[in-house]
Structure formats: structure tokens, C-alpha cells
Structure 1
């Protein structure tokens, strides 16, 4: 049960609309231009909020400046219930358009299983190599399922 403090400083039980409104506020704070991603957990929470509702795979990137402040969050590719085609050329092109210094990649697994597939590992390596050629750091790749898997936390970056 969620409680909210009202204007009179008394608490009341939050209804569904309150919860949705609060989620939208959190989402907007996470992806606001200039918002610094100060911890992996903050990035995870924001990305999970963005990707959890989809019933098909979505691949997105958070484009960051050299202080790890958000420049943009962009959904780059959509797929089906069990896959999405990701093209490194398009990721590089978009990163250059935003003049990003770093990025965080993320996609969801509608199955709920967060473990990376072999294809996930391969595309992560390809993207990391392609972006390194133009001095853009890949900070992490998150997979959102029932939990959030971090490539960086598992030593895969």
C-alpha cells in the first residue's frame, strides 16, 4: 500500500491515478535533458520503467555527455516477441547526431528472462567496438525482464 502526504500534511492511501502520476514524474526526471545518471541503480530503475510495459522487444539508447548527463533517450529499434534487429551503423549515426560522449544501451525480453542470449553478447561487442572507433564509451547494456541484467555488473563490458 502506498501513502501520499496531502496539502494538510496528513497521509492518505494513494489510488491508481496517484501511482501512475508518480511513475510519470519519476520517468520524466530520469530522462530529462541534463539529468545526471549518478548510479547504475538509477539508470536501471529508469530503464525498467521505460521498457517493462512492452510486449515486444525494444532497443533503446541513453545518449550522455562527458559528465554522464542525459542528452536524449531514444528508442532505436522495435522487434517481435523474441527478437529485434539492431544495426550498429544506426546507433553510431544517432550517437554522432547527439554529439554523445557515452551511452547506455538497453532492451527488454518480453519472456521475462533477463539473461543475455548469444546474440545479445555479439551485438554488444559489435556496438562497443564500433563506438570505440569514434571515442564513445559504452557504460552498460541492460536487459529488462522480471529483473534487470547489467553487462557491466557481470564483467561483460
Structure 2
């Protein structure tokens, strides 16, 4: 029987009940579940720092791009968080029609768009800016406001609204 040192390692229990050091992926997945428990349906998203913290916890650490949408009611309370599209290490195909369908299905009044940059550079690309404009226009046709687009890259979070890009 081996001895474990409980220094700063986090442990997980395997199927046989043995405790093993957690991998980085296991830690990130556990953090995402905790964020879901902490921020549930009806939570207000009315401060940029709250939104950036939440989306950072949800999207940081992925090795591929993930495009997600926060669907909000007319008081900017959370209806749902949906990871809508997954891509490669440097891009994800995003379809405005699908985002509009999901917004209507959830009766959302507003959305906050988000995606990660696995490269670690949070600077919005020209493609990010173009896509955001297309999504904002498509959602606007059905009276759904686009409040922000947050890019998550490691510990960095960049807000289109704070940069004046919306």
C-alpha cells in the first residue's frame, strides 16, 4: 500500500475507491460544475466583472475553441448557458441561424456571446469582430439585444462592450 503526500495535490477517487492525484482536466471539469452550482438560473449578470469571472471559469483550459452563449431575460438574469459550437485549436464555425433559434426557444431578451482562444491571446480578431456584427444584426431582427462578447484566453478576458466594439 503506497503512502500519499497531501501537500498541495487535489485527489480524486477512482472506480475502486482509491484516491489518486487529479489531472488538470479533472480539476477544470470540477470547477465548471461548481460554477454551475454557484450561478444558477435567475442569477443577475449586470456587472462586467461577474460575467467575465463566470465565463472564464466555464471556458478557460479548453484546448479547442468553444463558442458559448448566455441567454438572459429582460432584467439580465440567467436563463441558460449553452456551449453551442466546438472547433479546432484556432477556429470554430458559428451559425447565426442556430443562435437565433436557441434565443427564441428560451424566450431570451438578451444574450452575451463568448468564446475562448486556446492560443492564450485574448485580442479579438477581425473574424471575431465580423461574426459579432453578424450575430448582433441577426438577433436584433427578433428583438434580442447583444450585450457583450467576451473572449477568454487563459487568465485574460476581453469584453467587446468595454472596448467599444458593440
> What range is the shorter-chain TM-score in?
0.7 to 0.9
State the TM-score, normalized to the length of structure 2.
Answer: 0.80
What does residue 29 of structure 1 align with? Answer: 38
Cα distance in structure 2, aligned partners of 1:77 and 1:150: 20
Structure 2 distance, partners of 1:87, 1:71, is: 21
CA shift digits 1:112-138 (9 cap, x unpaired):
000011110000000001111111000
Which residue is equivalent to 1:95?
A: 103
Aligned to 1:73: 81
Please provide the CA RMSD for this pair.
Answer: 1.9
The alignment status of 1:62 with 2:70, answered yes or no, reads: yes
Deviation string 1:68-122 (CA, Å, 9 cap, x unpaired) is 1100000100000000000000000000000000010000000000001111000
List structure 1 segments (4+ residues) > 4 angstroms apart after TM superposition.
20-24
Q: Rg: which structure is higher? A: 2
Aligned residues: 143
Does structure 2 conserve the Cα–Cα contact (< 8 Å) formed by 1:27 and 1:46?
no
Structure 1 unpaired stretches of 5+:
1-12
Structure 2: segments with no counterpart, 5+ residues: 1-6, 12-26
Q: Which residue in the other structure is 2:10 paired with?
A: 16
Counterpart CA distance in 1 for 2:144 and 2:36 is 25
Q: Name the structure 1 match of 2:92.
A: 84
Cα deviation digits, residues 9-46 of structure 1 (max 9, x gap):
xxxx98636xx67774344222x111111311001000
Q: TM-score, normalised by structure 1?
A: 0.84
> Given the alignment, which residue of 60, 66, 77 partners 1:52?
60
Measured in 2, the distance between the counterparts of 1:41 and 1:16 equals: 28
Alpha-carbon distance in 2 for matches of 1:26, 1:107: 17
Is the contact between residue 140 and residue 151 of structure 1 (CA under 8 Å) also seen in structure 2?
A: yes
Distance 1:22 1:113, change over 3 A: closer
